[in-house]
Amino acid sequence: MLNKWMKKTVSVSKKNNENSATFNSCIEKTKQKLQDNFGDTSDLFIEEIQIGKQNGLLCCLTSMTDRQKINGAILTPLTDANLHNEQILDESTWEEYCKEFFSAAKHELIQYEHEVIDDILNGNALIFVDKLAKVLSIEVQKIEKRAIEEPSTQTIVRGPKEGFVEDVETNVSLIRKKIKNRHLRFESHTIGSETATKVYLAYVDGVTNQEILTEIRHRLDKLDIHALFDSGNLEELLEDKTFTPFPMLYNTERPDIIAAHLLAGKFALFIDGTPFVLSAPTTFSDFVSMSEDYYLPFLMGSFIRLIRYFAFLIALLLPSLYVAVITYHHEMIPTPLLISIISQREGIPFPAVIEALIMEITFEILREAGIRMPRAVGGTISIVGGLVIGQAAVEAGIVSNIMVIVVALTAISSFVAPIYTFAIATRLLRFAFVISAAIFGLYGVFLGMIFLVAHLASLRSFSVPYLAPIAPFSLQDHGDIFIRLPSWAMKKRPSFLRTENPNKQPNSKSPSPPKKEEGGTDS
């Protein structure tokens, strides 16, 4: 409560001082003041009421409040109270009065004008009493939210199917339900000068590194942004480095991933109005792993993860390697294959790079169209895309068959990365690689790789190196990077997160059947 109050005073001192005026005037003046503030907006509801023997005023925004809640939390107690017919002349009787009759709903007494305005905007109903400075604010918010559904991104076969929703309180409760630990903390922040969006900073006390928490609080406090609609807005403001195609904060719709990250020693940011929750510090390997790796048998989980790394490389490099080899290094291709490729390319009027760029750009357009178009015309894209662009282009002699295979394989591989923001980084870089391959062959591709690795090595997410634990190397953390060890073997939290408590499950042992000698009775 104190925190919230302090936040508000801070935000007010920025605006102006006249907002700290109070409402200790008569009802008519108060009414006038409110109307001055909100103008003639049609959803402002102001009604004069009797409160005890005094005149009072009930004020709320109809668009933000729930009729039924107003009935239950205000009108019914008010009728009950009016039977007592008490006189409310000073603030202490008013306080007692509130305690006695309005304790069913969440309520609070406020007095400054800016608080009043903030509360009305948040969907509270306010009760003013004639000549009293204290205003009763009761929470009667209308909460419109969709049901918890399976997330539309990052789908999995095995594992929890619930996903976050737009309502931040629901999201918080989803995490609370998963982690029943009294050290789990949610810190409230309000961000956005116009939108006043609620943001919760979640972490596990005693696990998440204190310096990292201080840093994120500092960054949240110094934010100056007018609107915050999605975690993407926030991500761009909190990054250590903006000029990078790679995401510096992890985003997901899946509560199980966020819960695992919190327990590993990361913090999470819940933003009201978006199902995408952020977590950080994040590393390269986070974007290649998926919660399902941990739910499948560990051998399978490891295998799938290796496939994902391989797919990342294909999505990034395959078109450029093809262009480089076809243009400069034919001798690397075994002769029979080379002959078949050359014969396919015989009638093609373009060099390999133009062919690759045509196909890649076409595919990018197709992909964008597939996302944006109305659902009703969904079938069209697959017909146009698959048939016309693929088959017809080959038959017309614009591109070669092998190019279509290369682009298709690249496209499929780029869908393997579980996190969308990470997958789109490879889309952009792929073009750079294709062009450098066209100019300098494999030399260009390898120089590009050096650039890319150096760039990745220079990135940090909240002071944690992006390539950790590959560089700087730490053997202990490698049980969960390229492969996943069985869960009993992972006794420690990642060391690069510099957690306050490095041990996760120090006593876990490999499961084994009871020894024959001891359990011999039942056979």
Residues at the site binding another protein, with contacts judged by CB under 8 A: 211-212, 214-215, 328-329, 331-332, 334, 440-444, 446-447, 450-451, 453-458, 460, 463, 465, 467, 470-473
The distance of closest approach from Cβ of residue 325 to another protein in the complex, given in angstroms and rounded to an integer, is 8
Q: Yes or no: say if 308 and 417 are a contact pair by the CB < 8 Å rule.
A: yes
The distance of closest approach from Cβ of residue 221 to another protein in the complex, given in angstroms and rounded to an integer, is 15
The pair of three-digit structure tokens given for residue 14, joined into one six-digit string: 């920025």
Cβ closer to another protein: 123 or 469?
469
Cβ closer to another protein: 463 or 505?
463
* C-alpha to C-alpha distance for 202 and 188, rounded to whole angstroms: 9
Cis peptide before 77 (omega within 30 of 0): no
The distance of closest approach from Cβ of residue 471 to another protein in the complex, given in angstroms and rounded to an integer, is 4
Going by DSSP bridges, is the β-strand pair 135-139/250-252 parallel, antiparallel, or unpaired? unpaired
Residues shown for the chain: 523
Cβ closer to another protein: 126 or 216?
216
Instruction: List C-alpha distances in Å: 334 to 325, 337, 353.
Output: 12, 6, 21
Residues 6+ apart with CB under 8 A from 466: 246, 248, 282, 283, 284, 456, 457, 459, 460
Which residues does residue 267 pair with via DSSP β-bridges, in sequence order? Answer: 280
Q: Yes or no: say if 137 and 124 are a contact pair by the CB < 8 Å rule.
A: yes
- State the burial class of residue 65 (Cβ atoms within 10 Å of its Cβ: 0-12, 13-18, 19+): buried
* C-alpha to C-alpha distance for 175 and 256, rounded to whole angstroms: 8
Q: Yes or no: say if 199 and 277 are a contact pair by the CB < 8 Å rule.
A: no
* C-alpha to C-alpha distance for 6 and 119, rounded to whole angstroms: 15
- State the burial class of residue 438 (Cβ atoms within 10 Å of its Cβ: 0-12, 13-18, 19+): buried
Cβ closer to another protein: 26 or 342?
342
Cβ closer to another protein: 463 or 501?
463
Cβ closer to another protein: 418 or 444?
444
Please list, residue by residue across 443-455, b when 16 or more beta carbons sit within 10 angstroms of its beta carbon and e when fewer do. ebbeebeeebeeb
The distance of closest approach from Cβ of residue 447 to another protein in the complex, given in angstroms and rounded to an integer, is 5
The distance of closest approach from Cβ of residue 321 to another protein in the complex, given in angstroms and rounded to an integer, is 11
Q: Yes or no: say if 11 and 19 are a contact pair by the CB < 8 Å rule.
A: no
Q: Please name which of 313, 261, 307, 206 lies closest in space to residue 461, comparing C-alpha atoms.
A: 261
The distance of closest approach from Cβ of residue 139 to another protein in the complex, given in angstroms and rounded to an integer, is 38
Q: Residues 365, 387, 375, 151: what is their CA dihedral angle, to the nearest 10 degrees?
A: -70
Cβ closer to another protein: 176 or 217?
217
Query: What Rg value do the Cα atoms of the chain yield, rounded?
Result: 30
* C-alpha to C-alpha distance for 452 and 448, rounded to whole angstroms: 6
Cβ closer to another protein: 307 or 332?
332
The distance of closest approach from Cβ of residue 478 to another protein in the complex, given in angstroms and rounded to an integer, is 11
Cβ closer to another protein: 158 or 243?
243
Question: Which helix (H) or strand (E) is 405 found in, with range?
Answer: helix 401-414
The distance of closest approach from Cβ of residue 397 to another protein in the complex, given in angstroms and rounded to an integer, is 29
- Quote the Cα angle for 413-415-418, to 5°: 115
The distance of closest approach from Cβ of residue 442 to another protein in the complex, given in angstroms and rounded to an integer, is 5
Cβ closer to another protein: 275 or 444?
444
The distance of closest approach from Cβ of residue 422 to another protein in the complex, given in angstroms and rounded to an integer, is 18
Cβ closer to another protein: 89 or 333?
333
The pair of three-digit structure tokens given for residue 496, joined into one six-digit string: 């690069």
Cβ closer to another protein: 304 or 457?
457
The distance of closest approach from Cβ of residue 185 to another protein in the complex, given in angstroms and rounded to an integer, is 19
Cβ closer to another protein: 218 or 226?
218
Q: Yes or no: say if 177 and 162 are a contact pair by the CB < 8 Å rule.
A: no
Q: Please name which of 425, 430, 387, 384 lies closest in space to residue 407, comparing C-alpha atoms.
A: 430
The distance of closest approach from Cβ of residue 238 to another protein in the complex, given in angstroms and rounded to an integer, is 14
The distance of closest approach from Cβ of residue 230 to another protein in the complex, given in angstroms and rounded to an integer, is 27
